[in-house]
Amino acid sequence: MSDKIKIYLIEDNASHAELISRSFEAETLNYEITLYGNILHAKQAINTATPDIVVTDLNLPDGKGLELIPSSENTAQYPLILMTSFGDENIAVEAMKLGAFDYIVKSSEAFDAMPRSVERVLREWENIFEKEKAVSALLQKEHEQREIINSMIDGVISIDESGLILSFNKAAENMFGYLDTEVLGNNITMLMPEEYRAKHSEGLNRFLETGKAHIVGILGGVELKAQHKKSNIFPIRLSVAKLPDDLNGKRRFISSCHDLSKLKQQEEQLRRSQKMDAIGKLTGGIAHDYNNILGIVLGYTDLLIDKLSDQKIISEYLHEIQRASERGATLTNKLLSFSKQRNTDTATLNINSFLLEQKNLLEKVLTVRIKLILNLTDNIWPISVNKSDFEDAILNIVINAMHAISGSGLLTIQSSNIYLNDNDALPLQITPGDFVLVEFIDNGCGMNDETVEKIFDPFYSTKGEKGTGLGLSQVYGFVERSKGVINVNSEINKGTKISLYFPRHHSNDSINEETISEPEISLRGSESILLVDDEPALTKLSYEILTDYGYTVFTASNGIEALNLLDLESIDLIFSDVIMPHMDGYELAKIVQDKYPAIKIQLTSGFTGDKYQTNEIPTLQSNLLNKPVNSKTLLSRIRELLSE
């Protein structure tokens, strides 16, 4: 309050007003009394400046003094003392109900005592004001705390000692799929899978009896499973702390729930990637020697077929050996493709057109018992992939779906354009941006989590002798090479969804899938060729093939021998392996290009690996011949280079 206590006196009886004013003259407190004779003038004054207290007669010329009691809607708030000439209990009760602080029956004694009545009312008003202020501050603090809790990323849930939910923040609503009104007052076990409910109740009872707990107060929390409103099970990290007891002495607990779903997906992607890299390195190391062996078998088989073409039975035997060797080469290529050790040519592709082209083939693979539905989005974005690898990937996924469906069933293939923001791309471990999504959805037997974790492992199969265990590992390798990502969702007896994400291709180059036939050229020649390979049998084979076609051939077992020979002989072309002791093929090629720029170079390898990748000679890397190389490919490529 101000230094002067402002009193508005509303009284139309001048003598009564005079007596009341005189009673305040003897007081030590500093009062300022303003007199008004009617309600209208009083209201105008109150709207202009709020008094510290109002003392009013009940009956006034223009109304009742009760009209001056402030309501909750009024901005002006003040205590009010009501006076009347005749005591009436009903009026007193009504006045107090409406908010008057005191009711006084007019008399000389009452007028003399008016200063003490005003002082008492002002003390009561101040006490009430301080209490309201404290309550308001408390409510504001509680509101701020609720806002803070609701803004938290983790779900925050409080319960009482019976397990009943007391509070449920916004993050918890998003995490579990319930509104707070759906869970408040219900038991916390409604958010748990069945397997945890009994254990939770036992643990809570044990804590209430002994004060010992396995979860409460554990630093860092524990990993558990939670259950969504839609019954989905998902992993969380749960931290629980004890709150102060409530007013009735009941114990309370607060828990923080952190959803681990995205983190687990990232860990699984990383684990799978590391596993693929490890298996890829192992596969590549074996493939190098295996391709050399296959090259020798295929090469000598080609020579024998040419020389023994007039012997029908022997030729048939040789063709069987050739076919078996080619199957071995195909198998090795698949392993290297899956492990990202073999580059493949890519082209811009319209997925919708490609799927429509494959529809008849896919329907035959699925047989009449499984219906195929193509749900393709219009104006699909182009992607850049290897067409042959994509075809293999689709077939592998479709065959898996066919085996997963017993009896009649349904397979849906759908395409869509999708933008992945930072939050979407993070769990997939992919760069945010535009993607084309291809989804394969079947209603087959589905898989458990353990099986889903293994399906991309090479040679892992759920089909027994019917499967090679290479199908989905090839799909995984193809998607990785295409800078995309693969995601699998499956539930037992509900089916499987395999999602392939491919980056949008922004090139304006037109798609040209036509193969241009080239005129046949003679494979014979008279130029000099240097063969460089540390595999003697393979070198001898290439020597036989090339000399039969008229070339002059020199051989070297490593890069150092090759350089020494170049000082002595005139060489037109070098045909060299990449992986060799002392000096690899790229190192040899770099020296030769610097020292003998006229010499043509062709590199070959069964496996290069990251160690042998280089940007110094991009043409040699892009034109690398993959082992095993058959005789026709060898002769054609050498003739092409020499004729440039």
Contact present, 612 and 586 (Cβ < 8 Å): yes
Cα separation, 636 vs 632, whole angstroms: 6
Provide CB contacts within 8 A for 547, sequence distance 6+.
553
Highest mean pLDDT among 200-209, 314-323, 566-575: 566-575
> HSE of 184 in the Cβ direction (CA atoms, 13 Å)?
7
In the structure encoding, which two tokens stand for residue 301, read together?
């088989």
Would you say residue 51 lies in a domain?
yes
Which among 137, 177, 171, 176 is positioned nearest to 156, based on CA atoms? Answer: 171
- Please give the pLDDT value at position 381: 93
Instruction: Say yes or no: 227 and 249 in one domain.
Output: yes
DSSP string, 28-47: SS-EEEEEESSHHHHHHHHH
Residue 256 has pLDDT above 70, yes or no: yes
Q: Where are the beta strands (DSSP E) in 279-326?
A: none
Read off the pLDDT of residues 79-100 as tens digits, 9 standing for 90 and up.
999 999 887 778 888 888 888 8
Could you say which of 309, 338, 367 is where a domain stops? 338
Would you say residue 565 lies in a domain?
yes
Would you say residue 449 lies in a domain?
yes
For residue 176, give the CATH number of its domain. 3.30.450.20
Instruction: Say yes or no: 534 and 610 in one domain.
Output: yes
Instruction: Say yes or no: 403 and 275 in one domain.
Output: no
- The H or E element spanning position 438 is strand 433-442
- Tell me how crowded residue 168 is: count the other CB atoms within 10 A of its CB: 25
In the structure encoding, which two tokens stand for residue 637, read together?
């490529």
Could you say which of 232, 259, 286 is where a domain stops? 259
| DSSP reduced 3-state for 125 | helix
Task: Give residue 472's Cα distance to chain centre.
Answer: 22
Please tell me the least confidently modeled range out of 47-61, 422-436, 524-538, 543-557. 422-436
- Please give the pLDDT value at position 512: 44
Instruction: Say yes or no: 495 and 591 in one domain.
Output: no
Cα separation, 543 vs 300, whole angstroms: 11
Provide CB contacts within 8 A for 214, sequence distance 6+.
203, 222
Instruction: Say yes or no: 30 and 158 in one domain.
Output: no
Instruction: Say yes or no: 241 and 293 in one domain.
Output: no
- Please give the pLDDT value at position 387: 84
Residue type, 284: G
Q: How far apart are the first and last CA of the chain?
A: 104
Read off the pLDDT of residues 393-402 as tens digits, 9 standing for 90 and up.
888 899 888 8
For residue 598, give the CATH number of its domain. 3.40.50.2300
pLDDT band at 53 (very low <50, low <70, confident <90, very high): very high
Would you say residue 608 lies in a domain?
yes
Cβ burial, residue 559 (10 Å; 0-12/13-18/19+): buried
Could you say which of 468, 503, 538 is where a domain stops? 503
pLDDT band at 176 (very low <50, low <70, confident <90, very high): very high
Contact present, 102 and 81 (Cβ < 8 Å): yes
Which among 604, 607, 601, 600 is positioned nearest to 629, based on CA atoms? Answer: 604
Residue 636 has pLDDT above 80, yes or no: yes
Would you say residue 322 lies in a domain?
yes
Domain span including residue 616: 528-643
Instruction: Say yes or no: 81 and 193 in one domain.
Output: no
Instruction: Say yes or no: 559 and 621 in one domain.
Output: yes
Q: How far is CA 258 from CA 181, 248, 279, 428, 553, in A?
A: 21, 31, 34, 19, 70
Residue 239 has pLDDT above 70, yes or no: yes
Residue 112 has pLDDT above 80, yes or no: yes
Q: Where are the alpha helices (DSSP H) in 24-113?
A: 39-48, 89-98, 108-112
Residue type, 634: L
Residue % of the chain over a pLDDT of 70: 86
Would you say residue 520 lies in a domain?
no
Would you say residue 522 lies in a domain?
no
Domain count, the chain: 5
- Please give the pLDDT value at position 288: 65
Would you say residue 73 lies in a domain?
yes
pLDDT band at 39 (very low <50, low <70, confident <90, very high): very high
Residue 618 has pLDDT above 60, yes or no: yes
Provide CB contacts within 8 A for 480, sequence distance 6+.
276, 340
For residue 375, give the CATH number of its domain. 3.30.565.10
Residue found under tokens 């089916």:
495
- Please give the pLDDT value at position 177: 92
Contact present, 631 and 549 (Cβ < 8 Å): no
Which among 607, 620, 586, 610 is positioned nearest to 333, based on CA atoms? Answer: 607
Instruction: Say yes or no: 325 and 354 in one domain.
Output: no
Provide CB contacts within 8 A for 640, sequence distance 6+.
521
Residue 519 has pLDDT above 60, yes or no: no
Residue found under tokens 């501050």:
137
Read off the pLDDT of residues 539-590 as tens digits, 9 standing for 90 and up.
888 898 899 899 999 999 999 999 999 999 999 999 999 888 888 889 999 9
Instruction: Say yes or no: 170 and 225 in one domain.
Output: yes
| DSSP reduced 3-state for 532 | strand
- Please give the pLDDT value at position 56: 94
**Whole-number mean pLDDT of the chain?**
83
Residue 459 has pLDDT above 60, yes or no: no
Evaluate if pTM is beyond 0.75.
no
pLDDT band at 285 (very low <50, low <70, confident <90, very high): low
- Please give the pLDDT value at position 502: 94
- Please give the pLDDT value at position 622: 72
- Rounded mean pLDDT of 313-331? 79
Instruction: Say yes or no: 416 and 540 in one domain.
Output: no
- Rounded mean pLDDT of 40-49? 92
- Rounded mean pLDDT of 137-161? 80
- Rounded mean pLDDT of 498-520? 63
In the structure encoding, which two tokens stand for residue 407, read together?
């009896």
Contact present, 111 and 23 (Cβ < 8 Å): yes
Instruction: Say yes or no: 211 and 77 in one domain.
Output: no
